[in-house]
Amino acid sequence: MKISIERGTLLKAVSQAQSVVERRNTIPILANVLIEAEGDQALFRATDLDIEVVDKAPAQVEKAGATTVAATTLHEIVRKLPDGALVTLTADNAAGRLTVEAGRSNFSLATLPKEDFPVMASSEYQSNFTASAALLRRLFDKSKFAISTEETRYYLNGVYMHVADGSEGGKVLRCVATDGHRLARIDADLPDGAADMPGVIVPRKTVGEMRKLLDDDEMDIAVSVSETKVRFATPDITLTSKVIDGTFPDYTRVIPQGNTRKLEVDAAEFAQAVDRVATVSSERSRAVKLQLDADKLVLSVNAPDSGAAEEELAVAYGDERLEIGFNAKYLLEIASQVDRENAVFMFNSAGDPTLMREGSDQSAVYVVMPMRV
């Protein structure tokens, strides 16, 4: 195999591949990227057995063929080459070497036979639809902060993507994530062809990798879903992933319906104030107390070992007095999701979950559990 490819193009393809590769693995071939050259393009394929990414890049192919080489090493070499360089990759499979040449630089890397590389089995997808990058980016960006990191509740280690009944009637594409302390539920218009999609739990790592495909607003993403796999594809990159084999809990039960005490506050001001007072809170509990009175909110932290802090905000609140405590980190993460100016919090009592939404927008709902302070 012998190909020549522009450094920028190669770097983009290899960086997507090497981020899927697990740093620590016991199977040597999984640390490699499979390079296949044919026609006028090269395919770069990497996998960790749960996710597979295939990146197409235009290349001058002098000799078709395939080989596998350590993904991180190749990425580091290409990253350090000068901008605009033409990189030539030559594989000598008999010697088990890949030569990387650019200008006066020359590298010889060990390769492993392509036959050993595990290619993910292709599967039938029940649902195929197209969604804009902006729509998917909003769904996953706003929900991923609530993904659980507890390995024991593995079914919460991802974002539950499914078709649901919207708050204003009609069907919506919905993403939900929760870790038991906070929950995010984000809705978007249902794309054509997605109505019969099975609900799947997209793993945390897949959400992170897929996010890299979504930076271009104009891009349309082809989404394919089956009971066991999900695939996101742009014209150049295809990301296929297994989904979490488990049942997502009935999240509708934890979204409070009867919360009547309404607080409206400028989201950016609120987040900054929480951040300021939380500076003195003890690392372990990070508790912030909210005292609500007529059109006034006092945020306070009292940490016996490090000090105390208090800040007052002008807010819109017309119900009876309420004192409630939260984990500062959870409040900050939820407040930072607000794109509009105002965050609307709906409280019931100091012991009940609190609901937050963005202004009058019903398509994004967040729930956070209080803590005793």
Mean pLDDT across the chain, nearest whole number? 94
- Where among 116, 135, 163 does a domain terminate? 116
DSSP string over 289-346: EEEEETTEEEEEEEETTTEEEEEEEE-EE-S--EEEEEEHHHHHHHHTT--SSEEEEE
The alpha carbons of the chain give a radius of gyration, in whole angstroms, of 25
- Per residue in 176-215, pLDDT (tens digit) is 999 999 999 999 999 999 999 999 999 999 999 999 999 8
For the cut 90, the answer to whether the pLDDT of residue 8 exceeds it is yes
Residue 208's CATH number: 3.10.150.10
Which pLDDT value is given to residue 122?
Answer: 82
Per-residue pLDDT band at 121 (split at 50, 70, 90): confident
Tokens of 353: 């979950």
Structural domain contains residue 122: no
pLDDT over threshold 80, residue 129: yes
Amino acid 25: pLDDT: 84
- Residue 107, pLDDT > 90, answer yes
- The sign of the CA dihedral 119, 122, 123, 125 is positive
pLDDT of residue 155: 97
Of 92, 116, 140, at which residue does a domain stop? Answer: 116
123: nearest Cα among 67, 191, 198: 198
- Expressed as residue numbers, the domain containing 203 is 127-253
pLDDT, tens digit, 9 for 90 and up, residues 27-45:
999 999 999 999 999 999 9
- 88 and 137 housed in the same domain: no
The verdict on 59 and 152 lying in the same domain is: no
Residue 57: inside a domain, yes or no? yes
Are 280 and 356 in the same domain? yes
Which of 206, 235, 212 lies closest to 120 in space, CA to CA?
206
DSSP-derived 3-state class of residue 140: helix
Instruction: Check pLDDT > 90 for residue 66.
Output: yes
* Domain closes at, from 84, 116, 148: 116
Is 261 domain-assigned? yes
Q: Which residues contact 117 (CB under 8 A, 6 or more apart)?
A: 29, 32, 34, 45, 68
Task: Note whether 240 and 355 are same-domain residues.
Answer: no
Q: Are residues 86 and 172 in the same domain?
A: no
Q: For residue 310, what pLDDT is reported?
A: 96
Identify whether residues 224 and 285 lie together within a single domain. Answer: no
Same domain, 190 and 143: yes
Collapsing DSSP to helix, strand or coil, 97 comes out as strand
281 and 339 assigned to the same domain: yes
- 94 has a pLDDT exceeding 80: yes
Identify whether the C-beta of residue 38 lies closer than 8 Å to the C-beta of residue 11.
no
Residue 205 included in any domain: yes
* 121 within some domain: no
Task: Render pLDDT for 239-295 as a digit per residue (tens, 0 to 9).
Answer: 999 999 999 999 999 999 999 999 999 999 999 999 999 999 877 678 999 999 999
pLDDT tens digits, 334-353: 999 998 789 999 999 999 99
Q: In this structure, is residue 373 part of a structural domain?
A: no
- 245 with 263, same domain? no
> What would the mean pLDDT of 5-9 be, rounded to a whole number?
97
Identify the DSSP state of 21.
Answer: S
Closest CA to 294 of 331, 262, 258: 262
The reported pLDDT for the residue numbered 283 is 74
Please check whether residues 131 and 249 belong to one and the same domain. yes
In a domain, 223, yes or no: yes
Please determine, for residue 72, whether its predicted confidence score (pLDDT) is greater than 90.
yes
Token pair 């990058």 is found at 133
Count of structural domains, the chain: 3
